[in-house]
Chain A
Amino acid sequence: MKGIITVLGKDRVGIIAKVCTYLASQNVNILDISQTIIQGYFNMMMIVDISSPAKSFEALVEDLQGIGAELGVEIKLQHEDIFNTMHRI
């Protein structure tokens, strides 16, 4: 099962580091990262493997939201199916 993590907000030091450290602690493998910075705004997408996470999907969603709040950015984890169904036939 794959998840999509998006991070949206004002750029600052350590955003990727903090998210990656958390994911490693939860046994979530990062498959792909892409990011852009537009006018100081950080926009990142990660595709992650959540086949055997340490916590439930819902708990990961909440934890990442919390980390986002600490960093002052919005972090979302969503199941990839919502994007696949909308954009792929």
Chain B
Amino acid sequence: MITIGEVQETNKMIREMNLDVRTITMGISLMDCAHSDLAVFNRNIYDKITRLAEKLVKTGEDLERQFGIPIINKRVSVTPISIAAGGLRTDSYVPVAETLEKAAREIGVNFIGGFSALVHKGFTEGDRRLIDSIPEALAVTERICASVNIGSSRSGINMDAVKLMGGIVKKTAELTADRDSAGCSKLVIFCNAVEDNPFMAGAFHGVGEPECVINVGVSGPGVVKRALEDAKDKDFETLCETIKRTAFKVTRVGQLVAQETSKRLGVPFGIVDLSLAPTPEIGDSIAEIFQVMGLEEAGAPGTTAALAILNDNVKKGGVMASSYVGGLSGAFIPVSEDHGMIEAVQKGALTLEKLEAMTCVCSVGLDMIAIPGDTSAATISGIIADEAAIGMVNNKTTAVRIIPVVGKGVGEIAEFGGLLGYAPVMPVSGFSCAGFIDRGGRIPAPIHSFKN
């Protein structure tokens, strides 16, 4: 029988430590929507998304009430549009983005991910059309998330795509200049993108995925922080054990919600993504965890080691708690969505270079970082290339979601609004990499990828 102490512990996590299920994301295949005519294709995808996800939001709300735990976001990811729309006779996929936006509004989800292309080894015609459509698509929609995979450990890095994406990021920033270039906050450039990630902006429904699937992302930086406060001044063994135990409990809740959502909607359960995803709320911050671990500020020497401990033990605690673990699973270190990271930047403790080092040991990459609007496309490509190289060589997912804020310089604040938060503009190295980026072609796969 459950004891009053256990009930109090769970409810304290929810009430005081921001324990929540961050997202229920329904993955929907659009493969059978393919058509050469734009109007027919748009009708097909609209009908399919609104049919399959009709009850997604309602089911999420019912489960919130049943278990008494907040389920913050209900979202949809779809087959990369460059694949699903590959047969379209059209020059632009912007109308497709508008249709997805309409579907998102109809079913009440705040984001649809999958305005995406996978170009790690080269471009199809559809990939090029999609990438060219990204800036306008992100400017005319609010709920569409775009991503492009430009490298993998198996195939190397497509440097033509890296060069192209530097320009696409710039153009997206310019077209959304009136909103502090917020379009870029919905554009992720990946190396080793995963097919079942439930978190935005990088979610898409991979080609190896079933017709429809439920993936759940759990969070809880606040719960980990509070648990670590009780383990203050203890050794690393105790520190790691505490993170593991907490991650286990948090992930169990995600597993329960995922299974129940899957049962109610009659859709297979895919994975639980056990990530520590911060929010701008006080007490829901990765930077605060670093402080409890003994660092004065995020970015102080020791931060990379602290993040490695956090990331590894979140995984170790979480894997036993769920029958299927997937997605990105680890710790996210977005700047704009974490007030502690923002403060660390403002105090000069955290730099772009330190963040890059931290991405070697966390689950994603350079995330939600504002840089000066006059940063060149080549420099952005250089940042993307560095991050992709870390992912390629270390067999992990890395990503770049960087915002060159038009009209703003170092130290000024960019406001992206709502969930996306705000971020101080960070300095970028002024030395040029144009000669390197301009070479063109592909970086071959690293030696340790040849495992067959």
Q: Please report A residues at the B interface, Cβ cutoff 8 Å.
A: 4, 6, 32, 34, 36, 43, 45, 47, 57-58, 61-62, 76-88
10 smallest A-B Cβ distances: which pairs? A78-B68, A82-B67, A45-B4, A85-B256, A87-B6, A85-B252, A83-B2, A58-B65, A79-B66, A34-B4
Q: A57-B66, A58-B65, A82-B256 are in contact. Are A76 and B11 (CB under 8 A)?
A: yes
Q: With A and B bound together, what is the CA distance between A4 and B255 in angstroms?
A: 20
Which residue of B6, B67, B249, B252 contacts A78 across the interface (Cβ within 8 Å)? Answer: B67
Once the chains bind, are A86 and B253 in contact (CB under 8 Å)?
Answer: yes
Q: Is the pair B1, A85 in contact by a Cβ cutoff of 8 Å?
A: no
**B residues neighboring A (CB under 8 Å):** 1-2, 4, 6-11, 62, 65-69, 249, 252-253, 255-256, 260
16 interchain pairs, CB-CB under 8 A: A34-B4, A43-B8, A45-B4, A45-B7, A58-B66, A78-B66, A78-B67, A79-B67, A81-B260, A82-B69, A82-B253, A84-B2, A85-B252, A85-B253, A86-B10, A86-B249
Task: Return the chain B residue nearest A4 by Cβ.
Answer: B7
> Across the interface, which residues of A come within 8 angstroms of B4, CB to CB?
34, 36, 43, 45
Check B2–A80 contact: CB distance below 8 A. Answer: yes
Query: A87 near B66 (CB under 8 angstroms)?
Result: no
CB contacts (< 8 Å) of B68 on chain A: these are 61, 76-78, 82
Pairwise interchain contact B256-A81, C-beta atoms closer than 8 A: yes
A34 to B62 CA separation, bound complex (whole angstroms): 28
* Of the residues A47, A62, A77, A83, contact of B10 by C-beta under 8 Å: A83
User: Which chain B residue lies CB-closest to A45?
Assistant: B4
Q: Shortest Cβ distance from A68 into chain B, in angstroms?
A: 13
B252 engages A61 (CB within 8 Å): no
Q: Which residue of B lies closest to A76 (CB)?
A: B68
**Whole-angstrom distance from the CB of A62 to the nearest CB of chain B?**
8
Q: How far is the CA of A58 from the CA of B264 in the complex (A)?
A: 15
Q: A87 to B67, Cβ gap below 8 A?
A: no
A32 partner residues in chain B, CB cutoff 8 A? 1
Checking B7, B65, B260 against A83 with a beta-carbon cut-off of 8 angstroms, the contacting residue is B7
What is the bound-complex CA distance between A47 and B253, given in angstroms? 20
Greatest chain B CB density within 10 A among A32, A43, A81 is at A81
Q: In the bound complex, what is the Cα–Cα distance between A76 and B67 (angstroms)?
A: 10
Cβ of B24 to closest chain A Cβ, rounded Å:
15
Besides A45-B4, A45-B7, 19 other CB < 8 A contacts?
Answer: A6-B8, A32-B1, A43-B4, A47-B2, A58-B66, A76-B11, A78-B68, A79-B66, A81-B67, A82-B67, A82-B253, A82-B256, A83-B6, A86-B249, A87-B2, A87-B6, A87-B9, A87-B249, A88-B2
| Complex Cα spacing A77 to B256, Å | 17
A36 to B3, CA, bound (A): 12
The smallest beta-carbon distance between B64 and chain A, in angstroms, is 10
Bound Cα distance A80, B3 (Å): 11
Give the docked Cα–Cα distance between A45 and B7 (Å): 8
A86: chain B residues within 8 A (beta carbon): 6, 10, 249, 252-253
Q: How far is the CA of A86 from the CA of B256 in the complex (A)?
A: 9
Q: CA separation between A81 and B257, bound complex, in Å?
A: 10
In the assembled complex, which residues on chain A have CB atoms less than 8 Å from the CB atom of B249? 86-87
Rounded to whole angstroms, the CA-CA distance of A36 and B2 in the bound complex is 16
Q: Which residues of B contact A78 (CB under 8 A)?
A: 66-68
Per the bound structure, the CA–CA distance linking A86 and B9 in Å amounts to: 10
CB distance from A31 to the nearest CB of B (A): 9
Complex Cα distance, B7 from A34, in Å, reads 11
Q: Please tell me if the beta carbons of B7 and A6 are within 8 angstroms of each other in the complex.
A: yes
